[in-house]
């Protein structure tokens, strides 16, 4: 018969460590949002790699949420953006999950570079905005998962029309396929190339400057950093709605066609 010996001191420290970890994680594991299963599109809150190249209810929710929170401090904002590479998890990590907590919040924005995690606010012309978006879409068409899309809160992009135009080598009026929401009507309309638009853009993208990404370096001087980060703004949104995240028409709309 094999005898098993235990070390009381070791057992004591193991139990104490487990209790300490649970105590430290208690607040982080406390639900920030309860997700209702009866919502038809609730599973759209789960992360999939498709967020890098197509329309996403999750991305719509995140950008609209961040815009809602940001407008409280920066009321002149027209649209908020976030590169799909920053989003690494959804509000539901598994279909059966019914709550979203601080750990999930950390996982959601895990794609942020620890050295460049900020957001900048800038005012650019409609022409510059169109160029910024078109360049991103063109690169995404070449490599859908590696050169991911930037998602926008109030902009609709006809990626399919742009792809067809590039493939057939025909000219296309970009103002017809890249539209912005009219603040009064809520409808998407052509971007006025001569009008100024205030946007939030990730520093992670704003610092880019290579053979494929040129526009950020051309508009960088028009931006200044804000003190808030994506996760902070998203958490502020949760507080604004008292933890009741709803799938509004704006969130389930098609922003990437």
**Range(s) of the domain holding residue 174:** 33-252
Closest CA to 120 of 227, 196, 237, 213: 227
Q: What is the pLDDT of residues 36-68, one digit of tens each?
A: 544 555 677 778 889 999 999 889 989 999 999
Q: What is the pLDDT of residues 122-135, one digit of tens each?
A: 999 999 999 999 99
Binned at pLDDT 50, 70 and 90, residue 13 comes out as very low
Total tally of structural domains belonging to the chain: 1
**Model pTM greater than 0.85?**
no
b/e sequence 142-177, b meaning 16+ C-beta within 10 Å: eebeebbbbbbbbbbbbbeebeebeeeeeeeebbeb
155 occurs within a structural domain: yes
Instruction: Determine which of 84-88, 101-105, 118-122, 145-149 has the lowest per-residue pLDDT on average.
Output: 101-105
Q: What is the pLDDT of residue 142?
A: 94
- Mean pLDDT taken over the chain: 82
**If you average pLDDT over residues 147-155, what whole number do you get?**
95
Over 50: is that where the pLDDT of 152 sits? yes
**Whole-number pLDDT of residue 98:** 62
Determine, yes or no, domain membership for 231.
Answer: yes
| Residue 26 domain-assigned (yes or no) | no
């Amino acid at each position: 018969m094999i005898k098993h010996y235990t070390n009381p001191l070791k057992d004591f420290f193991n139990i104490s460590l487990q209790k300490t970890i649970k105590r430290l994680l208690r607040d982080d594991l406390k639900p920030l949002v309860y997700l209702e299963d009866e919502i038809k599109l609730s599973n759209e809150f789960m992360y999939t790699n498709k967020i890098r190249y197509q329309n996403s209810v999750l991305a719509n929710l995140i950008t609209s949420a961040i815009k809602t929170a940001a407008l409280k401090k920066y009321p002149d904002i027209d649209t908020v953006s976030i590169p799909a590479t920053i989003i690494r998890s959804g509000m539901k990590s598994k279909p059966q999950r019914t709550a979203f907590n601080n750990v999930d919040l950390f996982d959601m924005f895990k794609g942020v570079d620890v050295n460049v995690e900020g957001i900048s606010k800038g005012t650019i012309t409609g022409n510059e905005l169109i160029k910024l978006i078109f360049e991103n879409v063109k690169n995404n068409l070449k490599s859908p998962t590696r050169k991911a899309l930037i998602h926008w809160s109030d902009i609709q992009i006809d990626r399919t029309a742009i792809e067809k135009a590039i493939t057939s080598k025909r000219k296309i009026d970009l103002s017809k396929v890249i539209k912005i929401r009219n603040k009064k009507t809520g409808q998407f309309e052509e971007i006025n190339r001569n009008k100024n638009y205030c946007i939030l853009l990730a520093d992670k993208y704003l610092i880019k400057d290579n053979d494929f990404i040129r526009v950020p370096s051309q508009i960088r001087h028009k931006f200044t950093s804000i003190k808030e980060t994506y996760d902070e703004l998203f958490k502020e949104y949760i507080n604004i709605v008292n933890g009741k995240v709803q799938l509004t028409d704006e969130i389930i709309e098609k922003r990437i066609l």
